[in-house]
């Protein structure tokens, strides 16, 4: 009888002939995430991943594993021989440990998954037999098949049986990098870090671009955004961070274009710069934190105008979400407090009193004719700074 950690995979189970690739990527990320914690062995067995380690390291290992995309549940398990007596002994031990932690447990249900169809007992037979033995052992417990206080899980695999009653929820999703690479336009607000998190959860490897207007905006504002990228890197691994000063661009727009179009034209320049950075670095798409109707530039017409300036895919995972839901995710991934720090960003510079909310592509193009767009974009990129965030 040995204790191990069981890791349940989510959508990877549906990948068919590509499954091995996804599992291998996931294992690499598990190993990278837990490299500062020594464990004995990591192995796969019939749809799950198991980690052998000293039980004292279980808590720190599971805390790390919760942030690995592609995992849905993490469980401390007892591994035993495929023998009904050994399984019973493990279930009794597990139940004792759970009752010591929570004496309010009064009902249970045994849930068996027999992956090894050659095992002598069927899943219902195992559940009934173990349930009966647990009832005989624990006088204060009853079976409740509909809404039990505790599930006793039994997995019968090819080489061993695994017993567990805790399933710690992870984020699910796909392993980082299995869905391509993208550039996140990250500001100091609440939305863009959440957008990056949501796309990373779908397997997208992230880089970030941040726009500032130094010295009109402070260095502390940029440090705030770097801190947000650092928090994202806890889930994604290291992030390449591009810092671009667009003050000269904003001055030109302010001088030569209608005031009400300041925000939307600035946004178009951000998209153009981001596209050039993405293409040069072989990134597949852009990601923004825009949510429809949330601010003046995020109307349907405004998004149409900004999209017209690039020919690369733009992902907006928050587009239909309410602010309260976005805030809840930000709180969960620990970016909310940092986002709420009161440091200004480039969007506050030359902010129009009455920004246009229904711009047309034709009108904005006409206004931009007064600008040397290519030179402004090139100068901004030539003077940008690049950091590695981890």
**2-169: what fold?**
VC0802-like (3.30.2130)
3-class DSSP state for residue 267? Answer: helix
CB 241 within 8 A of CB 207: yes
Q: How confident is the model at residue 347 (pLDDT cuts 50, 70, 90)?
A: low
Going by C-alpha positions, the residue among 110, 55, 99, 63 that lies closest to residue 79 is 55
Going by C-alpha positions, the residue among 288, 294, 300, 362 that lies closest to residue 325 is 294
Q: Binding site for ATP: which residues?
A: 185-186, 210-211, 267, 289, 298
* Domain limits, the chain: 2-169, 181-389
Res 345 pLDDT > 90:
no
Q: How far apart are CA 171 and CA 155, in angstroms?
A: 22
- Percent of the chain at pLDDT exceeding 70: 97
Tokens 């173990």 map to which residue? Answer: 130
- Matching CATH topology for 2-169 and 181-389? no
Question: Model pTM?
Answer: 0.91
**71-82 average pLDDT score:** 97
**The pLDDT value given to residue 293:** 82
What is the tens place of the pLDDT at every residue in 282-306?
A: 999 999 999 998 777 788 999 999 9
Return the ∠ at Cα 278 (arms to 273 and 280), rounded to 5°: 95
Q: Which CATH class is domain 181-389?
A: alpha beta
Q: Binding site: which residues?
A: 185-186, 210-211, 267, 289, 298
CA dihedral over 115, 116, 119, 122, signed as positive or negative: positive
């Amino acid at each position: 009888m040995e204790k191990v950690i069981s890791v349940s995979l989510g959508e990877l189970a549906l990948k068919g002939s590509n499954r091995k690739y996804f599992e291998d990527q996931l294992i690499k990320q598990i190993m990278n995430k837990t490299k500062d914690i020594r464990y004995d062995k990591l192995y796969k067995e019939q749809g799950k991943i198991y980690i052998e380690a000293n039980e004292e390291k279980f808590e720190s290992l599971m805390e790390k594993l919760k942030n690995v995309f592609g995992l849905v549940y993490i469980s401390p398990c007892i591994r035993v021989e495929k023998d009904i007596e050994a399984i019973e002994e493990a279930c009794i031990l597990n139940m004792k440990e759970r009752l010591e932690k929570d004496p309010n447990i009064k009902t249970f249900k045994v849930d068996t998954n027999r992956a090894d169809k050659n095992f002598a007992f069927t899943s219902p037979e195992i559940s009934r037999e173990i349930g009966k033995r647990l009832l005989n052992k624990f006088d204060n417990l009853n079976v409740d098949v509909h809404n039990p206080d505790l599930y006793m899980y039994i997995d019968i695999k090819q080489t061993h049986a695994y017993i567990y009653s805790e399933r710690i929820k992870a984020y699910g999703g796909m392993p980082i990098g299995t869905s391509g690479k993208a550039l996140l336009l990250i500001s100091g607000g609440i939305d863009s870090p959440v957008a990056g998190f949501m796309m990373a959860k779908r397997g997208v490897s992230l880089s970030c671009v941040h726009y500032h207007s130094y010295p009109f905006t402070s260095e502390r504002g940029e440090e705030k955004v770097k801190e947000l990228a650092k928090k994202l890197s806890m889930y994604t691994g290291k992030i390449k961070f591009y810092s671009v000063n667009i003050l000269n661009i904003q001055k030109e727009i302010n001088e030569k274009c209608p005031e009400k179009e300041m925000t939307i034209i600035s946004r178009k320049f951000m998209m153009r710069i981001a596209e050039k950075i993405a293409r040069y670095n072989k990134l597949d798409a852009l990601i923004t934190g825009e949510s429809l109707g949330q601010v003046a530039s995020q109307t349907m017409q405004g998004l149409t105008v900004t999209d017209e300036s690039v020919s690369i895919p733009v992902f907006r995972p928050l587009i239909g979400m309410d602010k309260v839901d976005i805030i809840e995710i930000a709180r969960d991934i620990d970016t909310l407090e940092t986002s709420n720090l009161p440091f200004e960003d480039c969007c506050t510079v030359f902010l129009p009193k009455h920004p246009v909310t229904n711009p047309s592509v034709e009108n904005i193009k006409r206004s931009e004719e007064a600008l040397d767009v290519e030179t402004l974009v090139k100068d901004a990129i030539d003077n940008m700074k690049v950091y590695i965030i981890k």
